[in-house]
């Protein structure tokens, strides 16, 4: 008997509740919608900010980089190795500056390539296992270089066997694919890229201007690894 009453109640209540719910829903929909007025804080007026012309060598942000572990026997491979690039006549400096071991942020230690997408390419003269790359674009000023892409290959023309090790071109504005890495601010300790033992002879470094101007700069690039046995 109880079971019957329960079943009858259920049969009656389900459509009633359904109708009521629908009614309430339609009432909600019928209510006039207005834009929620938000009181957002206004900008604060303030006088002329500081004028900065000189360079600032202080570290901008972040903690000091921790130790980076590499296999025993890993050595600097790129020192004085041949460098070529997309701009055969750099605006300032020489291509050799990229691997000459000088990492100073001052004038006279960097090579400047023209605006737009440009690259420098290092020839290690034979294939190596690569474990780390350090790049300094220009660290005398707080800058972010756009579309930093690092690729390796055993083909000098980068047609076959190209592997991308780093790519922060998040909107594909350089046309080499969307990158997952983040943009970073240039600091005097350079940008370390973990290359995970990839094997290659040539390394290509792309960029597309920076936050301060449209030009592309390289102070130094260091490639660490071991010879392929």
Partner 1 sequence: MNKKAACCWLFLLVVLGGLLFRLIQLDLRPMHHDEANQAVKFSRLLEQGEYHYDRTEHHGPSLYYLSLPFAWIASGTSFSALTEVTLRLVPVIFGVGIILLFLLLKHSLSLEAAVFSGLFAAVSPALVFYSRFYIQETLLVFFLMGAIASGWQYLQKRSLAWAASTGFFCGMMFTTKETCIVAFGAMFSALLLTHFSLKKSFRSDDMPRMPQASHLLVFLGTGVLVSLLLYSSFFQNPKGILDSVLAFGTYFSRAGDAGFHSHPWYYYLKMLAFSQYGNGPFWSEALILVLAVVGGFAAFRPLSNGEPSPFFLRFITFYTLFATAVYSFIPYKTPWNMLPFYIGFILLAGYGTVFLFTTSKKLIFRTIVILVIGSGLFHLGMQSYSANITFCADSRNPYVYSQTSPDFMHLVKRINDLALLHPDQDQMLIKVITQPDEAWPLPWYLRSFGRVGYWQEVEGAGEFTDVPLIVSSLDKTFRLQPALEGNHILEYYELRPEVLLALHIERSLWDIFLKKQSEK
Residues binding partner 1 (CB under 8 A):
35, 38, 40-53, 56, 60-62, 92, 107, 141-144, 170-172, 178, 182-183, 185, 211-213
Considering the complex, what minimum distance in angstroms separates the CB of residue 89 from partner 1?
17
CB closer to partner 1 out of 52 and 69: 52
Judge contact between 122 and 82, C-beta under 8 A: yes
Task: State the residue for tokens 């969307």.
Answer: 178
CB closer to partner 1 out of 157 and 171: 171
Judge contact between 197 and 95, C-beta under 8 A: no
Considering the complex, what minimum distance in angstroms separates the CB of residue 199 from partner 1?
32
Q: Measure the CA–CA gap between 68 and 77, rounded to whole angstroms.
A: 17
Partners of residue 123 on adjacent β-strands:
202
Considering the complex, what minimum distance in angstroms separates the CB of residue 173 from partner 1?
8
Considering the complex, what minimum distance in angstroms separates the CB of residue 175 from partner 1?
11
CB closer to partner 1 out of 42 and 72: 42
CB closer to partner 1 out of 19 and 211: 211
Q: Measure the CA–CA gap between 201 and 9, rounded to whole angstroms.
A: 80
CB closer to partner 1 out of 26 and 61: 61
Considering the complex, what minimum distance in angstroms separates the CB of residue 223 from partner 1?
26
Q: Measure the CA–CA gap between 193 and 132, rounded to whole angstroms.
A: 6
CB closer to partner 1 out of 32 and 171: 171
| Burial of residue 159 (number of CB atoms within 10 Å: 0-12, 13-18, 19+) | exposed
Q: Nearest Cα to 119, choosing from 81, 157, 155?
A: 157
Considering the complex, what minimum distance in angstroms separates the CB of residue 211 from partner 1?
4
Phi, psi of 195 (to 5 degrees): -100, 0
The three-class DSSP label of residue 76 is strand
Q: Measure the CA–CA gap between 219 and 90, rounded to whole angstroms.
A: 13
């Amino acid at each position: 008997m109880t079971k019957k009453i329960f079943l009858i109640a259920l049969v009656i209540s389900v459509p009633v509740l359904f109708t009521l719910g629908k009614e309430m829903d339609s009432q909600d929909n019928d209510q006039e919608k207005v834009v929620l007025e938000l009181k957002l804080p206004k900008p604060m007026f303030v006088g002329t900010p500081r004028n900065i012309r000189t360079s600032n060598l202080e570290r901008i942000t972040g903690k000091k980089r921790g130790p980076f572990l590499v296999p025993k026997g890993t050595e600097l491979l790129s020192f004085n190795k041949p460098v070529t690039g997309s701009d055969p006549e750099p605006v300032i400096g020489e291509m050799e500056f990229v691997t000459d071991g000088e990492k100073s942020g001052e004038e006279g230690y960097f090579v400047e390539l023209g605006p737009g997408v440009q690259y420098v390419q290092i020839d290690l003269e034979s294939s190596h296992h690569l474990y780390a790359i350090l790049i300094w674009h220009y660290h005398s000023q707080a800058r972010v270089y756009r579309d930093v892409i690092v690729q390796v290959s055993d083909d000098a023309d980068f047609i076959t066997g190209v592997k991308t090790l780093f790519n922060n071109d998040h909107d594909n504005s350089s046309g080499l694919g969307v990158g997952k890495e983040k943009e970073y601010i240039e600091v005097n300790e350079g940008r370390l890229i973990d290359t995970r033992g990839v094997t290659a002879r040539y390394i290509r470094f792309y960029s597309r201007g920076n936050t301060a101007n449209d030009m592309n700069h390289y102070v130094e690039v260091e490639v660490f690894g071991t010879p392929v046995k």
